[in-house]
Amino acid sequence: MHAVEKKVRAFVRVKPTAQFAQDVIKFGPDNKSIDIYIKKDAKKGVVNNKQTDWSFKLDGVLHNTSQELMYETVAKKLVSEALIGYNGTIMCYGQTGAGKTYTMTGATAEYRHRGIIPRAVQQVFKAIARAVDSFITVRISYLEIYNETLCDLLSTMTGSGASDVQMAIVDCPQGVYVKGLSIHPVSDEEDALNLLFEGETNRVIAEHTLNKNSSRSHCIFTIYIESRFRVLSDVRCINSKINLIDLAGSERLSKTGSEGRVLKEAAYINKSLSFLEQIIIALADPKREHIPFRQSKLTHVLKDSLGGKCNTVLVANICGEALHVEETLSSLRFATRMKWITTEPVINVTYDSEGTVKALEKEISLLKQELAMHDSLVNRSLVTYDPLTDVQLAEIKSQIHKYLQGTIDEIEVSSFLSRKGLIFCFHPILFQGRNEVETRLRSKYVLIDKNDFATIAAAQKVMAVLNFSALQSELRNTGVMRECTEQRCTHLQSSIPVS
Ligand SMILES: Nc1ncnc2c1ncn2[C@@H]1O[C@H](COP(=O)(O)OP(=O)(O)OP(=O)(O)O)[C@@H](O)[C@H]1O
């Protein structure tokens, strides 16, 4: 399928605050640009070359935006496209406490505060309820990358508890997948949300100065959609997945005051985010040939989403306070770089031959039942639509022989299958008869190929000579009509070809 290049779309979402730094952060009237202004630090001298102004252009700036409007702007189109076969990735990035989990999962206190994941699940199941010509199945997985270790947040749902399979990221022609990650079929929205809540309770969180419930890991909630359509006699199978990623927040250790386990986690988080940034820079550089996706678990898992055939959207979550302006600048730089990346989304379609056979068998059986009903309505109950038996074929052959011998005038055809059987048997019998006639003729006559002109001319010459001698003897024997016969002889003589 022909792919069209698409840019990654990047949005900025500002966490609401009473201390919004109006002098530092300015939004453009188009709701797509954001300017940052940092005053010169007088302590560092009047003359210093430090940059003070930055302008960033994005696909949208979400400021004081409800969860509903955020979803409409960021996710709705990507989810609709996933329903027709395009893979999609939405990723929340930003400093700790800036609102990534709020954007991705939402808050539980009020229904309207639900985030991208529950809304995407709802959109998918609403579309399934409306679908009339397809059979759609949905499955869910929830992966956590904690301290460079892959963890299955839904392993508790597999019955036997944690899976024994060693999880690993595997590259294959269809893309990247995580071997050993449990994937759960869900039949409705509630089923899917139960899995989300189960996964949420298994996530690693910790408290630090900037966030009471800080995520200490990167989490990927994946919705797998498989749609099967009947297209003429084929079963068209469309497989897509939506990766909804809540990245762990970047942390200034001086600000979070982390120590012990939380400090170690922060080191892993910052390292993996720094690898992610390197990948983004490399992808945005058209001269770069090798992109080191495998240098961390996060970048390896994101390989398809960043460099592949996928619709990708980034939400950079930022804080509005002047205190966090350095982190805000860093997140805006990251978002702008993401916008340089191009992907080539394609519909993931396959034709399922096993499914096709099954569907065709089902259809044939339905059609047979339908025909049997029609036949019984017109009193044709003897008609069968099963393949002809040997006995039926022998009966047809005997009828053909009788017809060719002239014993019967017509051959009875009671169904389409017996008509087919008739044609099937008639041809060999006809050819056999023709061969027999030819053999009989050859035993009596010399047959000349009608295109063999030299032999035909020679035969004509012999025939003419024979005719001439016959006439001469006629003349000799009868002596009557001599003149007329002589003329015929002269004419025949002149017509004999000279070899
Ligand atoms: N747009 C918003 N509107 C209202 N509350 C918000 C918004 N964004 C974030 N919050 C609140 O701010 C707090 C921190 O947000 P959240 O946990 O989502 O941050 P985070 O970026 O995921 O942090 P971390 O990286 O540490 O996990 C939460 O209590 C959350 O409810």
Q: What is the pLDDT of residues 404-414, one digit of tens each?
A: 888 888 887 77
pLDDT at position 255: 63
Q: What is the mean pLDDT of residues 128-148?
A: 90
Task: Say if residues 96 and 208 touch (Cβ distance below 8 Å).
Answer: yes
pLDDT for residue 46 is more than 60: no
Task: Say if residues 100 and 155 touch (Cβ distance below 8 Å).
Answer: no
Ligand 1: which atom is nearest the Cα of residue 13? 1
Instruction: For residue 16, report the distance from its CA to the centre of ligand 1, in Å.
Output: 10
102-111, 323-332, 379-388, 487-496: lowest mean pLDDT where?
Answer: 487-496
pLDDT at position 254: 61
Q: Report residue 111's pLDDT band, with 50, 70 and 90 as the boundaries.
A: very high
Ligand 1, atom 9, residue with closest C-alpha:
99
pLDDT at position 483: 57
pLDDT for residue 172 is more than 90: no
Ligand 1: which atom is nearest the Cα of residue 94? 21
pLDDT at position 389: 84
pLDDT at position 258: 63
Please list the residues that pair with 95 across neighbouring strands: 250
- Amino acid identity for residue 89 in this structure: T
Which of 277 and 358 is assigned the larger pLDDT? 277
Q: What is the mean pLDDT of residues 17-41?
A: 92
Cα 449 to chain centroid distance, Å, stands at 60
d(CA 432, CA 428): 6
Answer yes or no: is 115 a known binding residue: no
pLDDT for residue 435 is more than 60: yes
Q: What is the pLDDT of residues 326-351, one digit of tens each?
A: 999 999 999 999 998 888 888 888 77
What stretch of H or E contains 394? Answer: helix 390-405
Number of H helices, E strands in the chain: 15, 19
Q: What is the mean pLDDT of residues 250-257?
A: 64
Q: Report residue 45's pLDDT band, with 50, 70 and 90 as the boundaries.
A: low
- Average pLDDT in the chain: 84
pLDDT at position 267: 78
Which tokens belong to 485? 């016969």
Which of 101, 116, 246 has most ligand 1 atoms within 8 Å of CB, for mutation? 101
pLDDT at position 1: 53
pLDDT at position 139: 97
Q: Report residue 143's pLDDT band, with 50, 70 and 90 as the boundaries.
A: very high
pLDDT at position 499: 43
Closest CA to 328 of 114, 113, 38, 2: 38
Q: What is the mean pLDDT of residues 292-301?
A: 92
Instruction: For residue 288, report the distance from its CA to the centre of ligand 1, in Å.
Output: 36
Render the burial of 152-182: b for 16+ CB within 10 Å, e for the rest.
Answer: bbbbebeeeeeeeeebebeeeeebbbbeebb
Ligand 1: which atom is nearest the Cα of residue 247? 25
d(CA 336, CA 190): 37
- Within 8 A by CB and 6+ apart from 273, the residues are 93, 247, 248, 250, 298
Answer yes or no: is 96 a known binding residue: yes
Q: Which residues have CB under 6 Å of ligand 1?
A: 15-16, 94, 96-102, 107, 211, 213-215, 248-249, 317
- Within 8 A by CB and 6+ apart from 443, the residues are none
Task: Say if residues 221 and 140 touch (Cβ distance below 8 Å).
Answer: yes
Which of 96 and 43 is assigned the larger pLDDT? 96
Instruction: For residue 208, report the distance from its CA to the centre of ligand 1, in Å.
Output: 13
Which of 265 and 310 is assigned the larger pLDDT? 310
Instruction: For residue 320, report the distance from its CA to the centre of ligand 1, in Å.
Output: 13
pLDDT for residue 227 is more than 70: yes
Task: Say if residues 315 and 99 touch (Cβ distance below 8 Å).
Answer: no
Ligand 1: which atom is nearest the Cα of residue 104? 18
pLDDT for residue 452 is more than 80: yes
d(CA 219, CA 152): 10
- Within 8 A by CB and 6+ apart from 116, the residues are 70, 71, 74, 75, 90, 103, 104, 105, 106, 244
Top-tier CATH class for 6-351? alpha beta
Question: Residue written as tokens 């001298």?
Answer: 45
Q: What is the mean pLDDT of residues 186-191?
A: 96
188-192, 298-302, 343-347: lowest mean pLDDT where?
Answer: 343-347
pLDDT for residue 481 is more than 60: no
pLDDT for residue 313 is more than 80: yes
d(CA 135, CA 237): 10
Ligand 1: which atom is nearest the Cα of residue 65? 1
Start-to-end C-alpha separation, the chain = 70
DSSP state of 460: H
451-to-32, 287, 381, 444, 448 alpha-carbon distances in Å: 85, 71, 55, 21, 8
pLDDT at position 372: 78
Helix (H, G, I), strand (E, B) or coil at 139: strand
Instruction: For residue 310, report the distance from its CA to the centre of ligand 1, in Å.
Output: 27
Task: Say if residues 82 and 225 touch (Cβ distance below 8 Å).
Answer: yes
Which of 64, 102, 258, 331 has most ligand 1 atoms within 8 Å of CB, for mutation? 102
pLDDT for residue 171 is more than 50: yes
Answer yes or no: is 199 a known binding residue: no
Task: Say if residues 343 and 308 touch (Cβ distance below 8 Å).
Answer: yes
Which tokens belong to 430? 């006809």
pLDDT for residue 360 is more than 60: yes
User: Which segments of 232-278 are extended strands (E)?
Assistant: 234-246
pLDDT for residue 98 is more than 70: yes
Q: What is the mean pLDDT of residues 73-90?
A: 95
pLDDT for residue 381 is more than 60: yes
Instruction: For residue 104, report the distance from its CA to the centre of ligand 1, in Å.
Output: 10
Q: What is the mean pLDDT of residues 101-119?
A: 95
Ligand 1, atom 12, residue with closest C-alpha:
99
d(CA 373, CA 136): 32
Instruction: For residue 106, report the distance from its CA to the centre of ligand 1, in Å.
Output: 9
Ligand 1: which atom is nearest the Cα of residue 248? 25
Instruction: For residue 258, report the distance from its CA to the centre of ligand 1, in Å.
Output: 18
Domain boundaries, the chain: 6-351, 353-384, 386-446, 453-495
Q: What does the CA dihedral 271, 276, 282, 284 come to, rounded to 10 degrees?
A: -140
d(CA 222, CA 125): 15
Q: Report residue 318's pLDDT band, with 50, 70 and 90 as the boundaries.
A: very high
pLDDT for residue 437 is more than 90: no
Which tokens belong to 20? 């919004």
Q: Hey, which of 67-76, 168-177, 229-238, 290-299 has the most confident mean pLDDT?
A: 67-76
pLDDT for residue 192 is more than 90: yes
Helix (H, G, I), strand (E, B) or coil at 376: helix
pLDDT for residue 176 is more than 80: yes
Which of 15, 93, 204, 270 has most ligand 1 atoms within 8 Å of CB, for mutation? 15
